[in-house]
Structure formats: structure tokens, C-alpha cells
């Protein structure tokens, strides 16, 4: 029964993710913003099990703020015409430092004047800042990735041919290939534990299989995107960069998985939540994607486009 429930929810998650990826726009951004807030709640629960007391309002509020800034170009067309402004393609990246500064300052000031006995600690401030970075700033890059367009390329109204679909697609394939190949590689070939004090089931052989599988699928997706699926070449025809991206993002995805395992191990829990029966919580399902989305975005901007 547990296995059947896991399969059903797994396919449901996959279907929703694909539908929203193809739809794009505010639906995509809003859905992942909601997931980010739910993930923030799980993070708050994990650190509170350690006796720490971060500010839940700041973590949730700043996480939402990062997604709003990331989706700013999609929000502008829905506001009154008199307030319309022309935003640069990199408006979010240009303003993230300001938002991050505000978040850090608010974290210090709010906890400084929080009337509690005993007063807030350094750990409370640190876990508040880590919370909105982990649950908000990093995953909001998935929205930036979905809206990314190569310089001088036209912006298509049809969401199915927008270049951002290809970028999110390759990111998801890298993360999924890493997870699947690592799981089966570890199951059938695993002999040497990777990091037993943090994640006792992961093996070196599994990590290598996940790494190799991600390189293969990154190359396949980039080739299909540039050759058959999109009217413009989203990756500018640079197929040689695909295996490098697969390797780079796969390492980030696996480290993201280990980081979330570290949080759970420190809190003494098996899963971060129970929102997805058979799959655990938001952080359990999205641990690799949290890091992979940001790494994919900066890889494409710096290596593929060369604009950052």
C-alpha cells in the first residue's frame, strides 16, 4: 500500500510540474512560491527541534519577497497601465543584493527587539537568515530560469516555445537523472559509503552513477532542444557545454541532498515533513533542485550567454 501511494503521488507531482513548466507565467511562479513557503515551514520545524528560535515571519516574508522580485517581469503587465515600467532582463539579479541586505538587517533588528526571556541568540539570527536564503533565495532561481531568454532573442508569447522551458527542462533532467541513477547504482553496485554520518544509505558508487547519468541526459536534452524542439537554439548550438553543465549541476544537486540530510540528522528526524505520502516533505523532494536551479541559472548566464 505504501509503495502504491508513493507511485501515485510521484506521478501526480510529475504531472503538475510538467503542466506548470509548460504554462509558465504567474502560475509557475505562484506554485513554486507556495512550495517555498511550505518548505520554509519545514525548515523552521527542523531548527526548532534543536531548541533554536528563528523568526518564522521573516523567513516566510523574505522567501515570498524573493519570488515576487524574481517574477517581477510577469507581474508588471497585470498592474495599472500608469504604473508600468520597463524592467531589464536582469532586474531581479540586480536587486537581489538590496533585498538580501534588507533581510539581514531586519533579522538582526527584529530579534534584537523581540521581548523574550532569554533574549534572542546569535543562533536565532543565523538560522533566520539561513532560512530565507535556503527556502527563498536559492529556489526562486527556478522562476528566473523559466523566464530566461538569450540576449537579442525575441520573446515568444507562446509559452511552449519559450527558451526558459528548455533551461528548466535540462535542470530537472539533471536532478532526476542524478537521483535515479544514484539510487539504482547504489542499490546494485554500492559497496563504499559516501558519508555515513550524514546519510547512511548513500554510496560512492551511487554518486558516480548519478554523476555519469546526469552528464548523459544533459547532453541529450541540450541536443534535442537546439536541434528539434525550439525555433531558436536556446543553448546557442554549444553542445560541448552540455556535459560540463550536467557534471556541474549534478554535483550541486548531490551536495544539496546531503545538506538537507544534514539538517534532518541534526534535528533527529527521518523526513522534513509529511505533505507527500510516501515521499516525505517539500525539502525531501526538492533538496537537490534547491541548489541545482540556482547553479543552472548562473551556468547558463555565465557560460552559455557570457553576460554575467
pLDDT score of 3 more than 60:
no
The residue that leads in pLDDT, 217 or 121, is: 217
Q: How far apart are CA 49 and CA 37, in angstroms?
A: 19
Mean pLDDT of the region 89-107: 94
Which residue's entry shows cell 517581469?
A: 73
List Cβ neighbours of 247 (8 Å cut-off, separation of 6 or more): 211, 214, 215
Which residue's entry shows cell 535515479?
A: 180
In this prediction, residue 11 carries a pLDDT of 74
Q: How far apart are CA 235 and CA 96, in angstroms?
A: 25
Mean of the per-residue pLDDT values for the chain? 91
Mean pLDDT of the region 77-101: 83
- Residue closest to 35 by CA, chosen among 4, 3, 60: 60
Burial 76-85 (b: 16+ CB within 10 A, else e): eeeeeeeeee
Q: How far apart are CA 35 and CA 38, in angstroms?
A: 5
Per the rule left: phi > 0, alpha: psi between -120 and 50, beta: everything else, 283 is alpha
In this prediction, residue 5 carries a pLDDT of 61
Q: How confident is the model at residue 7 (pLDDT cuts 50, 70, 90)?
A: low
pTM: 0.94
Q: How confident is the model at residue 74 (pLDDT cuts 50, 70, 90)?
A: confident
pLDDT in tens, 195-214: 999 999 999 999 999 999 99
The residue that leads in pLDDT, 116 or 267, is: 267
In this prediction, residue 175 carries a pLDDT of 96
The residue that leads in pLDDT, 65 or 112, is: 65
And the C-alpha cell for 97? Answer: 543584493
161 prior amide bond cis, ω within 30: no
pLDDT in tens, 40-52: 999 999 999 999 9
Which residue's entry shows cell 554518486?
A: 207
In this prediction, residue 35 carries a pLDDT of 94
Q: How confident is the model at residue 18 (pLDDT cuts 50, 70, 90)?
A: confident
- Residue closest to 107 by CA, chosen among 73, 75, 60: 60
In this prediction, residue 82 carries a pLDDT of 60
In this prediction, residue 6 carries a pLDDT of 58
In this prediction, residue 85 carries a pLDDT of 75
pLDDT in tens, 246-304: 999 999 999 999 999 999 999 999 999 888 766 789 999 899 999 999 999 999 999 99
- Residue closest to 32 by CA, chosen among 133, 128, 136: 136
Which residues make beta-bridge pairs with 289? none
3-state secondary structure the chain: CHHHHHHHHHHHHHHHHHHHHHHCHHHHHHHHHHHHHHHHHHHHHHHHCCCCCCCHHHHHHHHHHHHHHHCHHHHHHHCCHHHCCCCCCCHHHHHHHHHHHHHHHHHHHHHHCCCCCCCCCHHHHHHHHHHHHHHHHCCCHHHHHHCCCCCCCCCCCCHHHCHHHHHHHHHHHHHHHHHHHHHHHHHHHCCCEEECCCEEEEEHHHHHHHHHHHHHHHHHHHHHHHHHHCCCCCCCCCCCHHHHHHHHHHHHHHHHHHHHHHHHHHHCCCCCCCCECCCECHHHHHHHHHHHHHHHHHHHHHHHCCCC
In this prediction, residue 104 carries a pLDDT of 97
pLDDT in tens, 156-188: 888 888 999 999 999 999 999 999 999 999 999
In which domain, by residue range, is 120 found?
2-304
Domains held by the chain: number: 1
Amino acid at each position: 500500500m505504501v509503495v502504491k501511494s508513493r507511485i501515485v503521488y510521484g506521478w501526480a507531482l510529475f504531472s503538475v510540474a510538467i503542466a506548470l513548466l509548460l504554462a509558465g507565467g504567474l502560475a509557475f511562479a505562484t506554485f513554486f512560491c507556495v512550495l517555498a513557503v511550505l518548505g520554509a515551514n519545514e525548515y523552521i520545524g527542523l531548527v526548532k527541534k534543536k531548541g533554536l528560535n528563528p523568526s518564522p515571519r521573516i523567513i516566510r516574508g523574505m522567501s515570498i519577497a524573493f519570488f515576487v522580485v524574481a517574477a517581477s517581469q510577469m507581474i508588471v503587465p497585470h498592474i495599472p497601465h500608469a504604473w508600468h515600467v520597463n524592467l531589464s532582463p536582469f532586474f531581479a539579479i540586480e536587486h537581489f543584493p538590496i533585498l538580501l541586505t534588507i533581510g539581514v538587517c531586519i533579522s538582526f533588528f527584529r530579534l534584537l527587539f523581540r521581548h523574550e526571556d532569554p533574549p534572542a541568540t546569535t543562533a536565532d539570527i543565523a538560522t533566520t537568515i539561513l532560512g530565507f536564503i535556503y527556502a527563498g533565495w536559492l529556489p526562486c532561481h527556478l522562476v528566473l530560469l523559466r523566464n530566461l531568454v538569450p540576449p537579442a532573442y525575441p520573446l515568444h508569447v507562446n509559452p511552449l516555445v519559450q527558451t526558459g522551458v528548455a533551461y528548466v527542462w535540462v535542470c530537472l533532467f539533471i536532478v532526476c537523472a542524478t537521483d535515479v541513477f544514484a539510487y539504482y547504482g547504489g542499490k546494485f553496485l554500492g559497496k563504499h559509503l559516501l558519508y555515513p554520518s550524514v546519510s547512511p544509505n548513500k554510496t560512492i558508487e551511487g554518486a558516480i552513477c548519478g554523476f555519469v547519468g546526469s552528464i548523459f541526459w544533459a547532453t541529450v536534452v541540450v541536443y534535442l532542444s537546439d536541434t528539434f524542439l525550439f525555433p531558436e537554439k536556446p543553448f546557442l548550438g554549444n553542445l560541448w557545454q552540455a556535459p560540463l553543465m550536467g557534471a556541474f549541476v549534478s554535483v550541486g544537486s548531490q551536495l544539496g541532498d546531503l545538506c538537507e540530510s544534514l539538517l534532518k540528522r541534526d534535528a533527529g528526524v527521518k523526513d522534513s515533513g509529511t505533505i507527500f505520502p510516501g515521499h516525505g516533505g517539500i525539502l525531501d523532494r526538492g533538496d537537490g533542485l534547491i541548489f541545482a536551479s540556482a547553479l543552472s541559472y548562473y551556468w547558463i548566464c555565465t557560460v552559455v550567454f557570457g553576460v554575467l
